[in-house]
Amino acid sequence: MDQPPGRFPPTLGPAWPAPTPTPPGSWSLFPLSVDRILQLTFSMFRFGWRTFIGISLIVTVPATMLVATAQAAVGDELARAQQAQLDIAFGELPDFGEVFPLRAVLVSYLSIIVLGVVGYIVTAAVVHAAAVTAAGGRASIGGSLRVAARLFWRLVGIALAIFFTIIAVIVIGVLIAAAVGIAFGGGFEPGPAVFGILIVAVATVATVLFVLVRWAFAVQAATLEGASASDSLGRSWRLVSGSGWRVLGYTLLVALLIGLVLLLVGLPINILIGSGLDVVGGRVVFNPVTYFASTLLVALLSASIAPIPTIALTWLYLDLRWRRGEPLPVPVPGAEAGRYPPDA
């Protein structure tokens, strides 16, 4: 079963089980187990690493440095806030009116929104590149970014819907926890109040995870199926139905692997270079040089491995489609002819 040059996946070796008979428009690789998804993910990343990393670097690094510039403008406020925390730790009460970093808080929230939208754009472009590669084609950085750019407002809609839903769940959880605490007398001593608050906290976290898992494939649906923002969320919700634990387990596994890499490489960067908040003469000061240097290095590292979890989720998305008897969303040998990506 030799593959022509440039095709993906590479020739199946002895480690792969015999192909499973599939209907027209499906691949013989399916169904996928966790080890096969990981093998395909890292194989695809090695195969097209220039494209995947290029997509991530071109978008993520400039956006990160733009955000870093905005945050550097309020660096002194962050330093005063950090100093206030140290003073409190040593039993001194600072003047909270002077140290509360209002501008820094606003800049931080705006930064989260900007980087969140940028992250969705990168995700959509990587999903497109992964699907093209999986179908045996050659994805390009520019082509995948153009597809993501055409989906900009859909991606913004998906991001805002998920963000505000999570915020709403957390706010409701906090309100319920406060009501439980008041109903049982409050206080932090062991008793019904603390037990009830813990139950509400666990339920809130579980609800957040449930929503995130159900909407895990919204970007894939928007990118590969041409669905609107609301339809993408609904499509992902239905696709994950009955496979929630599997999706959660795979997502946590990949996140753990990537998190370990970031920790092992990113932590030494912060230790050796610093975060930009240095202690000089017993006072916290903002150092823009170390701040920009560490931010740039961490951004380069994060952007280089960010495509990996997206590729893994795209394989899982395709596997869930296969298990439901659906054809692949991209033209492949033997599948029905059609444009890719779908018309916007």
What would the pLDDT profile of 70-129 be if each residue is shown by its tens digit?
888 877 777 777 767 666 666 666 555 555 667 777 887 888 888 888 999 999 999 999
Average pLDDT in the chain = 79
Burial of 183 (0-12, 13-18, 19+ CB in 10 A): exposed
How many Cα atoms are found within 13 Å in the side-chain-facing hemisphere of 101?
21
Query: What is the residue extent of each domain of the chain?
Result: 34-157+242-323
pLDDT band at 1 (very low <50, low <70, confident <90, very high): very low
Other beta carbons within 10 Å of 177: 19
Average pLDDT over residues 165-186: 86
Q: Interior CA angle at 246 toward 244 and 249, to 5°?
A: 105
Mean pLDDT lowest for which of 82-91, 142-151, 234-243, 245-254?
A: 82-91
How many Cα atoms are found within 13 Å in the side-chain-facing hemisphere of 241?
8
Q: Interior CA angle at 220 toward 20 and 230, to 5°?
A: 130
Looking at per-residue confidence, does 56 or 136 come out higher? 56
Average pLDDT over residues 225-230: 90
Would you state the pLDDT for residue 24?
Answer: 38
Judged against a pLDDT cut of 80, whether residue 232 lies above it is answered with yes
Share of the chain above pLDDT 90, in %: 35
- Phi, then psi, of 247 in degrees rounded to 5: -60, -45
Would you state the pLDDT for residue 32?
Answer: 85
Judged against a pLDDT cut of 50, whether residue 18 lies above it is answered with no
Which ranges of 184-226 does DSSP label H, i.e. alpha helix? 192-214, 218-225
Q: Interior CA angle at 47 toward 137 and 301, to 5°?
A: 125
Share of the chain above pLDDT 70, in %: 75
Q: Interior CA angle at 127 toward 125 and 128, to 5°?
A: 65
Would you state the pLDDT for residue 122?
Answer: 94
Other beta carbons within 10 Å of 192: 12
Q: For the segment 288-343, what is each residue's pLDDT rounded down to a tens digit?
A: 788 888 888 888 888 888 899 999 999 999 999 988 888 776 544 333 333 334 44
Mean pLDDT lowest for which of 16-20, 54-58, 64-68, 223-227?
A: 16-20
Other beta carbons within 10 Å of 182: 10
- Can you tell me which residue has the tokens 């109903």? 183
- Measure the CA–CA gap between 115 and 105, rounded to whole angstroms: 15
Average pLDDT over residues 146-172: 93
Would you state the pLDDT for residue 132?
Answer: 86
As given in the structure block, the two tokens for residue 108 are 């931080």
Average pLDDT over residues 236-265: 85
Judged against a pLDDT cut of 90, whether residue 274 lies above it is answered with no
Cβ proximity of 157 and 229 under 8 Å = yes
pLDDT band at 219 (very low <50, low <70, confident <90, very high): very high
